């Protein structure tokens, strides 16, 4: 995945969240790129979700959680579906 282009798409609710939290968006984009390019992903707090959230991934940045899916092809498409505090974010899925 190192040489593939990464495209990040944001849902309406995540765009609204990131307008208020620009620094979290920057950290998320750096973190997800690091994970997908296998550039020291051990430094990123991420995991594959299970159960009813199967197919989603989560990155934790401070007290926030960003939930996303990955479509892998010639272009890696990351679809961010929810972002918010860790107590509320899973309610949006």
- Taking only the tens of pLDDT, the chain with its 93 residues reads 566 789 999 999 999 999 999 999 999 999 999 999 888 889 999 999 999 999 999 999 999 999 999 988 777 889 999 898 987 887 766
Owning domain of residue 20: 5-37+44-92
Q: Please, are residues 61 and 54 in contact by the beta-carbon 8 Å criterion?
A: no
For the domain that residue 33 is a member of, what is the CATH number? 3.30.2310.20
Q: Are 24 and 14 in contact (CB under 8 A)?
A: no
Q: What is the pTM of this model?
A: 0.86
Decide if 67 contacts 56 (C-beta within 8 A).
yes
Number of domain units in the chain: 1
């Amino acid at each position: 995945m190192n040489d593939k282009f990464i495209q990040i798409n944001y849902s309406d609710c995540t765009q609204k969240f990131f307008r208020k939290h620009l620094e979290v968006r920057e950290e998320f984009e750096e973190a997800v790129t690091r994970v997908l390019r296998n550039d020291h992903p051990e430094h990123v707090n991420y995991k594959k979700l299970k159960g009813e959230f199967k197919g989603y991934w989560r990155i934790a940045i401070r007290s926030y959680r960003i939930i996303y899916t990955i479509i892998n092809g010639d272009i890696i498409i990351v679809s961010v579906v929810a972002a918010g505090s860790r107590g509320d974010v899973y309610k949006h899925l």
